[in-house]
Structure formats: structure tokens, C-alpha cells
Amino acid sequence: MDTPNLSPARIRLIFAGLALALLVAALDQAVVATALPTIATDLGGLRHIAWVVTAYLAGVAVSTPLSGKLGDLYGRKTVFLVAVVVFVVGSALVGLAQSLEQLIAFRALQGVGGGGLLTVTVAMGADIVSPRELGKYQGFFGAALGGASVIGPLIGGLFTEHLSWRWVFYINLPIGAVCFAVVALALPSAVGRGTGRRLDFIGSAVLAWAIVAVVLVTSWGGAQYAWSSSTIILWASLGLAAIVVFIAVEWKASDPVLPLGLFRDRAFSVACASSFFVGFGMFGAIAFLPLFLQLAKGEGPTDAGLLLLPLMMGLTVAAVVAGLVITKTGRYKVFTVLGPLVAAGGMLLLQTAEPSTSRTAITLYMILVGLGIGLCMQVLVLVAQNTASPDTIGVTTSTVAFLRTIGGAVGVAVLGALFSRQVTTGLADLAPGGSIDIPSGPGATVSSDAIAQLPPDVRATYVEAFAGALTDVYLWIAPAFAVAALIAVALRNVPMRREGPAAAPESAARRDQTVDPERGELP
């Protein structure tokens, strides 16, 4: 299938609808954070409030790889429209929930729709334009994904404070309706038509089992349960067993949900591995940068969120510029290597920050981190799509995105455990007499308002301990980005195709051996 002959105006309209769907789906992973205390007060059940986040994350994680495969089998337009409906219905039900149990169940449903949007939206881009032209649009996709993580808590706080926490979810209804209408009317039905083959139900079920286990371990570990607890050990064991069973099932499946042969393609394997570590660093940075601003700099939650806007601006600018350059030159490897290195440099600079560090300096460091993430995040997806066949575009895209999400979940869990240990150790060293009440929990943290109410000497001890622990966390994020860059060095400069995925008959393995003779191989 060649890319469709659509007018530039129609292509822009379709991509606007896709980017909007991507933004709203990604936004709902972060927007609920600032509304949680109000939801707990309104519905009760504070003990299980963390499930509001975990349920959505589990739904997204399960549907991300499966929706990619479903798009390959039954058509991406169909799967996209179904995902919009599921997401909108889930959002409406969450807003109408009268108990925490109802809200958690509906959040899982909403997550299933959101995961479909996050995957199929990006995959559909490869059905509309060639990989070479897709570069300039992937930049906007990257900006939507990164920006949602930053502005989500701000929007959640504003809606909760001035309207109701329920409007955090109701707002998805008109936006979803617009996305549905744009794609349904503007995108030809023939675009992204599926193969019609049967879904690998056994492989899908085992994959879902493995994903849920990973999500629960990373969400609960160090928070609800100690890492050494029987609950975490049990779920970790179930997850490992599911992975072993999944590999065995997929190896024999006639049409596996995740063809293991894809990993023989160097571009795909490198993109997956590098995306995991980019996700580790990106989500870790976004999760822990606000804590430094709140606990070490004394900013309120809203102000801390606003101060993350420079990171989003850097990410947006870099993503758009990288996409435009790739469309113009066909070169991409430099971004997959340079981007993580720039982000690592920004994290190393943030590691030097102290409570006395100026806001200007911290802003510049965050811009640097954003620039680095923006240069590489969506480019890695484009790299994998460039060598994919038309019947694997969906699963290729979803696997790269899925591993970025899992990398983020693992990163937040590991860094959270490190942060808790460093805070506890720091407070014990600074107050060996035990006169300070050491906090417990995943972040071992208290609010900036609570710290401000402490006596001056105790407050200074808390600030010093938190600041030291956070900068130690930043020091661990930098190597994750560096590993992503090191892995990307293994990429070969496969020329970006100017035609649709099926117009190039050679296999991914053969394309991986091809180097543009005029450009040579990028360093």
C-alpha cells in the first residue's frame, strides 16, 4: 500500500485530530494527580486512592501493545475510532462515579481506550505520509506526549479548584467527539486497512498477565508494600513466569501478537532498547523535578508545576526541529545519540543544584533536559517504522511506545526507592539523636507548607536532607540517558523512505544493510 494521495490541507487536518487525541490520552495519565486528595475526600476510601492512578496505568499498559496488533489485523482507523469511544465512555463514567470502587473500575476502562489512542495515533501517521515526510509530524506527536506530562497536574489543579474534580474527566467528552469526527470524516477508510487475520488470543492473554504483574510490582513496590514483602515477590514471580510462557507461546504461534522475528531487525531492536532507557530518564525527571522545587526551593505545587514549563518548551522546540530536519535531510541517527547525551548533561547540571541555586539556573538546566528528550523520543519510533512492513507498522510502533512506558514505570519505582533510602539516611546523619520524625513512604516526603511550619533548625535539616536525596536521584537519571545514547550508536543510517511502507519490497534485514552512498554512515 502506497501512502494515500491526500491534499496538504486534509493531511494537516487529520494530523491535528490525531495530535489532539494523543494529547488528551497522555494528559489523563498525569492530570489526576492534583485531584486525588479532593477525590478521596469526596468519595472516601483514602486507603485505596493509589488505585485511581494504578488502574489507568494498567489499562494503558495492557492495551498499548494489543491495540497496535489489532490495528494491523482489523485496520487502524477502526481501532482508533473504537478507542476514542471507549476512552470517552470511560471518562464519562469516571466523572459520574459515586464510589471509589466505581471510579477505579471506570479508570481501568478509560485506560484501555487511552492506551489504544497512544499507540494507534502514532502508527496511523505512517499510513498517511512516508517516513521521510512523517518526521515533521512526529515532532508534534513528541511535543504532545512530553507536554502532557508537564501540564497535566496544572490542569488538574485548576479544574479541581475552580470547578470540580469531575470536570477533569468530563472535559474529555467534547475533545473526544472532535477527534472522532475529524478522523472519521477526513481519513479514507482504505488507509491502514488490516490484514483480516485472526488475533492470537492466547498470546494476548499471557501478555496482559505479564504487563499487569509488572505494573503492580512497580506501582506497589516501596509504597504499599516493601520490596521484600511476600506480595511483591509473588507478583514479580508471576510476571517472570508470564514472560517465559509468552515467549514459548509466541515462538509457535502462526500469527503472534508480538512477532519475535522483529527483533532480528537491528533498527527495531535498538529503538526498543534505547526507548526503554529514555522512558526511564524522562519519567524519572518529570516525577522528581517538582519535588526539588517544592521541598528545597519552597515553591507551592502549582508554582512548581509552572516552573516545569521550560522543560516542556525545550522538548517541544527540539521535537519539532528534529522532525523538520529529518524530513529535509533524511538523517536521524545524530538525534538518537545527541538527544540522550544532552538530557544527561542537563541532569548532571541539576545534580549540582542546591537550595540557594537561582531559579534562572534551574530553568536553564530544565530547558536542556527538555531539549535532549525532544530530540530523540519520537525519532526512535520513526526509526522503527522506517524499516517496518505494512502489516507490522502497528505492532512495531506499539512495542517501542510500550517499552518507553515500562521504562518509565521501572524508573520511577527504582528512583523512588533510592530517594526514600537517601532521605532516611540523610535525616539520620543530620539528626542522630532521633529528635526529628523521619517520614516514611515511597517518597518519604511532606508538603512544602508543612516544612514551612517547622522550627527554623528542624526545617533546615529537612530541606538539606531532601535536597541531597533529590540531587542523588538526578545523578542516577543521567546514566540512564547515557545508556540510551550508547545503544543508539549501534544504529545504521538506513535512508528514510520517501514512499509508503509497502512500496519498498526489500525486507527489513536487507534495508538494515543499506547505507546512502551520498551520505555514508553517520557517526
The C-alpha cell that represents 393 in the structure block: 507498522
Cell 485505596 locates to 48
pLDDT of residue 371: 92
Which of 221, 239, 256 is at the close of a domain?
256
Q: How confident is the model at residue 343 (pLDDT cuts 50, 70, 90)?
A: very high
Cα distance between residue 90 and residue 119, in whole Å: 18
Mean pLDDT of 145-167: 73
The C-alpha cell that represents 161 in the structure block: 479548584
Report in angstroms the alpha-carbon separations of 216 from 13, 54, 238, 414: 39, 8, 11, 14
Asked whether the beta carbons of 396 and 388 are under 8 A apart, the reply is yes
Q: How confident is the model at residue 294 (pLDDT cuts 50, 70, 90)?
A: low
Mean pLDDT of 251-263: 78
- Asked if residue 356 and residue 252 are part of one domain, the reply reads no
pLDDT of residue 438: 40
- Residue 505 pLDDT greater than 50, yes or no: no
pLDDT of residue 164: 79
Tell me the average pLDDT of the chain: 76
Q: 509: domain range?
A: 261-523
Question: Per residue in 381-399, pLDDT tens?
Answer: 888 887 777 677 778 888 8
- Asked if residue 288 and residue 153 are part of one domain, the reply reads no
Cα distance between residue 325 and residue 136, in whole Å: 8
pLDDT of residue 503: 44
- Asked if residue 325 and residue 227 are part of one domain, the reply reads no
- Residue 302 pLDDT greater than 80, yes or no: no
- Residue 344 pLDDT greater than 90, yes or no: yes
pTM for this one? 0.75
- Residue 183 pLDDT greater than 60, yes or no: yes
Percent pLDDT > 90 in the chain is 9
SS3 label, residue 221 = strand
CA 371 from centre of chain? 16
State which amino acid sits at residue 242: A
Mean pLDDT of 505-516: 40
Report in angstroms the alpha-carbon separations of 50 from 101, 216, 217, 507: 12, 11, 13, 46
Q: How confident is the model at residue 453 (pLDDT cuts 50, 70, 90)?
A: low
Number of structural domains (the chain) is: 3
pLDDT of residue 85: 93
For 225, phi then psi, to 5°, come to -135, 150
pLDDT of residue 149: 65
- Residue 77 pLDDT greater than 50, yes or no: yes
Mean pLDDT of 423-429: 64
Question: Per residue in 109-152, pLDDT tens?
Answer: 988 888 888 888 877 877 787 777 777 777 677 767 766 766 77
Instruction: Flag the least confident range among 25-29, 464-468, 494-498.
Output: 494-498
Which of 168, 198, 228 is at the close of a domain?
198
Beta bridge partners of 225: 221
Q: How confident is the model at residue 458 (pLDDT cuts 50, 70, 90)?
A: low
- Asked if residue 153 and residue 289 are part of one domain, the reply reads no
- Asked if residue 280 and residue 216 are part of one domain, the reply reads no
Which of 164, 198, 232 is at the close of a domain?
198
Beta bridge partners of 173: none
Residue with the bigger pLDDT between 40 and 400: it is 400
- Asked if residue 228 and residue 133 are part of one domain, the reply reads no
- Asked if residue 120 and residue 52 are part of one domain, the reply reads yes
- Asked if residue 236 and residue 129 are part of one domain, the reply reads no
Asked whether the beta carbons of 297 and 359 are under 8 A apart, the reply is yes
- Residue 339 pLDDT greater than 90, yes or no: yes
The C-alpha cell that represents 407 in the structure block: 521504562
- Residue 104 pLDDT greater than 80, yes or no: yes
- Asked if residue 209 and residue 194 are part of one domain, the reply reads no
Question: Per residue in 316-335, pLDDT tens?
Answer: 888 888 888 888 887 888 89
- Asked if residue 131 and residue 15 are part of one domain, the reply reads yes
Mean pLDDT of 418-435: 62
The C-alpha cell that represents 420 in the structure block: 526514600
- Asked if residue 169 and residue 225 are part of one domain, the reply reads no
Q: Determine which helix (DSSP H) or strand (DSSP E) holds 467, and give its type and residue range.
A: helix 456-488
pLDDT of residue 150: 65
pLDDT of residue 89: 93
pLDDT of residue 513: 40
Task: Name the region of 438 (left: φ>0; alpha: ψ -120 to 50; beta: rest).
Answer: beta
- Residue 222 pLDDT greater than 50, yes or no: yes
Cα distance between residue 17 and residue 309, in whole Å: 24
Mean pLDDT of 423-451: 50
- Asked if residue 169 and residue 25 are part of one domain, the reply reads yes
Cα distance between residue 89 and residue 95, in whole Å: 10
Closest alpha carbon to 226 in 5, 395, 417, 96: 417
Residue with the bigger pLDDT between 454 and 408: it is 408
Percent pLDDT > 70 in the chain is 74
pLDDT of residue 517: 36
Q: Specify the CATH number for the domain of residue 26.
A: 1.20.1250.20
The C-alpha cell that represents 14 in the structure block: 487529520
